[in-house]
Chain A
Amino acid sequence: MSITRDEVAHLAKLSRLDLGEDELERYASQLDVIISAVARVQEVAAAGIPPTTHAVEFNNVFRADVLAECLGADVALAQAPAAEEGCFKVPRILAEE
C-alpha cells in the first residue's frame, strides 16, 4: 500500500501540524518507505499472541492519600506564553460567527 499526499495532509491535521505543500510531498514519500518497512510485523504476529504494552508488568500502583506540596499558581504561570489575572491566557477557542 502507499501513502498519498492527501492522507499525509489528514495525518498532519490530526497531529496539529500546519505543514506546507513541499513538506506534504516529502513526508508522503518518506512515510511510504517507512510504513512498508515496518509492515513486516504482520509476517509473524499471528492471531492468538497476546500483546505486550509494557516491558515490566505493573498492576494498580497506589500511594497514601495525603496532601503534598504542589506548584504555586505563580510558579506554574511563570513560563506561560501569556497570563492574565492568575490564569493562562489562550487564543479564542470558539468559532468566530
Chain B
Amino acid sequence: MSTPGGGSMNRPSDLTRWTAAEMAAAVAIGEVSAAELTEAHLQRIARTDVQVRAFLHVARDSALAAASEVDARRAAGEPLGPLAGVPLALKDVFTTIDMPTTCGSRILAGWQPPYDATITRRLRAAGVVILGKTNMDEFAMGSSTENSAFGPSHNPWDLGRVPGGSSGGSAAAVAAYQAPLGIGTDTGGSIRQPAAVCGLVGAKPTYGGSSRYGLVAFASSLDTPGPLTRTVLDAALLHEVISGHDPCDSTSLDAPVPPVVAAARNADVAGLRVGVVSELSGDGYASGVLRRFNEAVELLESLGAKVTEVSCPHFGYALPAYYLIAPSECSSNLARFDAMRYGLRVGDDGTASAEQVMSETRAVGFGAEVKRRIMLGTYALSSGYYDAYYGKAQQVRTLIAGDFAAAFEQVDVLVSPTTPTTAFPLGERVDDPMAMYLADLCTIPCNLAGNAALSVPCGLAPEDGLPVGLQVMAPVLADERVYRVGAAVEGALDQRRGHALLEEANGVDEADDASGEAGR
C-alpha cells in the first residue's frame, strides 16, 4: 500500500509506478524534477500506446514546458500545490487552447478551441502537467470507447477487452501507468464504469461540485467532471484541485468543497451505517462480481460498519428514465453542430442550401450512436410524445431522488456493485444498443439524483481474473463519505493482498524500442 504523503520506503524504482501523492511529494522536496516525471511518462506513452490507444493527442512540448515552469517555481522558492508537477491525462471533451478538442467525433476533428475549460485552467494553475487528450466514446455517449470516430482504446488488463466508457481513454492511460491522474466526465457512469473495469478509483462528485464551463455538453443536467486514479487519496487530491464554485457555470454550486482529502486519510468506518441496495444485484449480474461485492460488504462489517439492506424500489426504472432524459438533452445540445461557425462542413458547393449542408454535414460527421440518441431525444420531445416519454421520465427522476432521500434517513452511505459484469470483449455489444446501455445499470441513479459516488476496486472476478468495482453512494455534498469508505476498503484489501490490485495487471508489454508513434 502506498504511504499517504509519499514515503519512499516501498516506492518502486520506476517513476511511473508511483502514486500521484508520492510524485508530488518528491517534486516538492526536489528529489525528482517535474521535467523528469513528465519525460518518464511521455516515454511510457511512446512505448505502450500502440497497444493501449488511450491518447488522441500527446502534447509533448507543452507538457515539458508546464513541467519546467513548476521546476522553476520550486527553484524560486514559491509554494507549490499538492499535485504540482504531476502528469495527467485529460479527456478530449474539455476545451484546451493549445491542443485540439475532438470529443471523439469527426465533426470536430482538428478543432482548436479558442479558450480553456475551467477544469483545464484549474489544472494548469495547480501545476498539474497535462500530457495530452484521451480517447472517448463520441460526445461521451457509450460505455466502451467503441463509439469513438478514431477507434477504440484497449483495457490494460486484457487488450482484447474494452476499457469501459465513455472516459475509457483516461482510464486506460491511468491503468497502463501512462499517467497517475486522469480526468473524465460522468453523465450516466462514464467515470465509475471505466474505473471499475480497469481496476481504478473513479469518483463522480456531487452535480455542480465541479464546473461544466468548457466541457462540451452532452446532457447538461447530468454531466459531471471527476477524477480517475490508482488510489483513493490521489482521487481526493485531484477532486479538491478541480472543485469549487465557478461563476462561468450557472449550475455550479456556491458551497464549500467537501473535505475529501481529509476523509481519504481517515479511513475509519467504525459505526458508519452502510446500506446494501437490494435492487442492484441478482439476475444479470456476473457471479464473480456478486462474490467480490459480498466480500467487500463483509469486510466493511468487520471494520466496524453497521450493514443493513435497503430497498430503493424505483431504481429499476432509472435506466429507462435516463435513456429518455439524456438523449432529449443531447438532441438539443448537439444542435450547435450546424457546420456554420466551426467544425466540419460538407457539401457546400455554392448551390446547396444551408439546411442541406447542415443535414449532410451532420450525417457524415456524427457516428451511429450519436445519431441514434439525437433521433431518440427528438422523438421523446416531440409534441404528442412529450408527456408520455420525457414528462414521465422527469417524474421517475423525482421518484429516484425520493428513494435516495428515504434511504439516507436510515443509512450514511449506500453500496452496490459498480457494474453488472467485468470488462466485456471488444465488439461484443456494438450491434446491440440495449446490451451496451446495461453497463450503466448501477451508476445511473446517482446521476439522476445528483449524488456523490465513487468506485473502488474490490478484487478480481474468479471466472475471468478481471477487476470488480464497489460503488459507494452518498447524499448531495457529502462527497467525503464515499472517500472514507473507499479508503477503508482499499487499505484493508491492499494490506490483505500485500500489494495494490493493479500490480496484477499484465496485459501491456513495453515495446522494445520507442519507435511506435503514440497517438494518432
Contact = CB atoms under 8 A, between A and B. Distances in A.
Contacts of B359: 13, 16-18
Contacts of B343: 79, 81
A71 B342 contact: no
A38 interface: yes
A50 B395 contact: yes
B362 A56 contact: no
Given A11-B378, A49-B399, A55-B449, A93 B354 contact: yes
Task: Tell me the dominant secondary structure on chain A's binding face.
Answer: loop
Contact of B395 (A40, A51, A75, A93): A51
B323 to A, nearest CB: 5
Contacts of B363: 17-19
Interface string A55-89: 11010010100000001000110111110000010
Given A17-B371, A31-B372, A31-B375, A78 B392 contact: no
B331 interface: yes
Nearest to A7: B379
A63 B338 CA distance: 30
A17 B396 contact: no
Contacts of A93: 353-354
B62 interface: no
A41 B374 contact: no
Contacts of B388: 39, 42
Contact of B317 (A35, A43, A76): A43
Interface residues of A, number: 54
A34 B221 CA distance: 22
Contact of B396 (A27, A44, A82, A90): A44
Report, as a range, how many residues of chain B touch the other chain: 35 or more
A52 B344 CA distance: 35
Nearest to B339: A81
A81 B340 contact: yes
A17 B348 contact: no
Nearest to B253: A56
B61 interface: no
B476 A56 contact: yes
Contacts of B207: 55-56
B271 interface: no
A5 B27 CA distance: 61
A11 to B, nearest CB: 4
Contact of A71 (B114, B360, B392, B448): B114
A2 interface: no
A79 B398 contact: no
B467 to A, nearest CB: 28
Contacts of B447: 55
Contacts of A23: 371
A27 B111 contact: no
Closest 7 CB pairs of A and B: A55-B450, A51-B394, A81-B345, A45-B395, A18-B359, A45-B392, A52-B397
